[in-house]
Amino acid sequence: MLLSPYRVLDLTDQRGMLAGQILADLGADVIAIEPPDGSPARSVGPFAGDDPGADRSLFWWAYARNKRGVTCKLDHPEGKALVHQLAAGADFILESSDPGVMAARGLGYDDLAAGHDTLIYTSISAFGQTGPKAGYQATDLILMAAGGPLILSGGAGEAPVRVSVPQAWSHASGEAAIAAMIALRARSATGRGQYVDISAQQSVAAATMSANLAASIGAAETARVAGGMAVGPFTGKLIWEVADGYISLTFLFGAGIGPFSRRLFQWMYDEGECTQEDRDLDWIGLGAEFISGARPLSEWGRLMEVVGEFLRKRTRAELFEEAQSRSLLIVPVTTVDEVANSEQFEARDFWREHEMPGWPEPVRFPGPFVKLSDNQIEYQRRAPTLGEHNAEVYAELGLDEDALNDLRIRGVI
């Protein structure tokens, strides 16, 4: 495994767990440290069997895989001492507490890197450790608003809408894992670790792609077009309703897309569902006709209606099959169930099964995120139950069963 020589102490909550999961997937020994009553991530639904419980959270199952799990009360002096001992043998620390919290506990970078100058300590926070917003609280919605992506989401002329699946902290966690690897590469050259400061706001700003350059060059701000696109005065749909769900269809004019649109209308004409005049439009120069006024812009709306009516009579499979034979820009919008039963994923041996405590049958998990010709990634562990590896990990510090029982009784672990 690529990172098998390295150890990571994962002190993150649900905001940063993906960072540790990525390093664990790459083979690092990742020890998830959570409070004695469990990480808040264990209360994030949905839950297996719709039965909430510390070991039933599908979020925890997904993001704690490949990690060993121990409990420790960080605010207790003896708990802090345990973390210091574990950190002495670690290469990486990951944490996602609010700025200043870990330092106040005596578990900040300066505390744990003292006498351990090879340590790579990564903090994931909403706005970073410095600046006027460093102390602000933030949900996913706040971060998407503050970083820019929210202004791009929603319908034209309407208020922005949130993306349904939270993404901001995942962006930050992914960048935290990458940044830790960059710091590791630097350490191989300098012999020193360093502090890594990840701002979720900065991470999601990259998700606006080129849109965040508009203001700096005086360009027009990108317009919201729900399920579609806008090109000058033209709006177009990218997501279309069909007989059994939705497809993505790119339908426009011009040198790049026009030939595909011409072939689409040829099919529609063959089926008797458009006129010869529509089929024979100049699909390369049609935009210039609209802009010059030679053809009214209302005709573009009519053409989209013709296409929409044609699509609504056909299934995703029928459209996709015909798209391949006619070279059209059509692809089905698949459901989660269809993804789970994808022939492509099956052919690539993507899925992995794990026995989960209290669940009657093996659970199928997404597999390795990349295939390598050497050093194949493999999932070695299911997500740990609460405190599952206490004895195993703390034994490395010389603690026996009696010492652990004493710590447990006093609420330290």
Domain 228-333 classification at class level:
alpha beta
Whether the pLDDT of residue 9 is over 70: the answer is yes
Residue 318 CA to its chain's centroid (Å): 32
In this structure, are residues 247 and 238 in contact, taking their beta carbons and an 8 Å threshold?
no
- Among 2, 411, 22, CA closest to 10: 22
pLDDT in tens, 239-279: 999 999 999 999 999 999 999 999 999 999 999 999 999 99
Q: pLDDT band at residue 13, thresholds of 50, 70 and 90? A: very high
List every span in the chain annotated with CATH 3.30.1540: 228-333
Tell me the percentage of the chain whose pLDDT exceeds 90.
78
Whether the pLDDT of residue 378 is over 90: the answer is no
Phi/psi of residue 250, each to 5°? -95, 115
Distances (CA, A) of 173 to 30, 63, 122, 244: 15, 11, 10, 36
List every span in the chain annotated with CATH 3.40.50.10540: 7-208+342-409
Give Cβ neighbours of residue 371 (< 8 Å, ≥ 6 apart): 348
Q: pLDDT band at residue 70, thresholds of 50, 70 and 90? A: very high
Q: pLDDT band at residue 376, thresholds of 50, 70 and 90? A: confident
Domain 7-208+342-409: which topology? Rossmann fold (3.40.50)
Q: pLDDT band at residue 237, thresholds of 50, 70 and 90? A: confident
Mean pLDDT of 63-76: 96
Average pLDDT, the chain: 93
Question: Which range has the worst mean pLDDT, 19-33, 308-322, 366-380, 392-406?
Answer: 366-380
In this structure, are residues 32 and 70 in contact, taking their beta carbons and an 8 Å threshold?
yes
State residue 207's pLDDT score: 86
Mean pLDDT of 9-19: 97
State residue 231's pLDDT score: 66
CA 373/CA 2 separation, integer angstroms: 12
- Cis check for the bond before 357: say yes or no (omega within 30 of 0): no
**188 Rama sector, left if φ>0, alpha if ψ -120 to 50, beta otherwise:** alpha
* β-bridge pairing 228-231 and 234-237: antiparallel
pLDDT in tens, 327-336: 999 999 999 9
From the CB of residue 127, how many other CB atoms can be counted at a distance below 10 Å?
Answer: 22
pLDDT in tens, 330-362: 999 999 999 999 999 999 999 999 899 889 999
From the CB of residue 319, how many other CB atoms can be counted at a distance below 10 Å?
Answer: 22
Question: Which range has the worst mean pLDDT, 45-49, 198-202, 314-318?
Answer: 45-49
Whether the pLDDT of residue 384 is over 90: the answer is yes
Q: pLDDT band at residue 324, thresholds of 50, 70 and 90? A: very high
Whether the pLDDT of residue 323 is over 90: the answer is yes
Name residue, tokens 């007989």.
Answer: 243
- What is the SS3 assignment for the chain? CCCCCCEEEEECCCCCHHHHHHHHHCCCEEEEEECCCCCHHHHCCCEHHHCCCCCCEHHHHHHCCCEEEEECCCCCHHHHHHHHHHHHCCCEEEECCCCCHHHHCCCCHHHHHCCCCCCEEEEEECCCCCCCCCCCCCCHHHHHHHHCHHHHCCCCCCCCCCCCCCCHHHHHHHHHHHHHHHHHHHHHHHCCCCEEEEEHHHHHHHHHHHHHHHHHHCCCCCCCCCCEEEECCEEEECEEEECCEEEEECCCCCCCCHHHHHHHHHHHHHCCCCCHHHHCCCCCCHHHHHHHCCCCCHHHHHHHHHHHHHHHCCCHHHHHHHHHHHCCCEEECCCHHHHHCCHHHHHCCCCEEECCCCCCCCEEECCCCCCCCCCCCCCCCCCCCCCCCHHHHHHHHCCCHHHHHHHHHCCCC
Distances (CA, A) of 130 to 110, 176, 197, 256, 263: 16, 17, 9, 46, 55
Q: pLDDT band at residue 37, thresholds of 50, 70 and 90? A: very high
From the CB of residue 366, how many other CB atoms can be counted at a distance below 10 Å?
Answer: 14
Residue type at position 370: V
Mean pLDDT of 103-116: 97
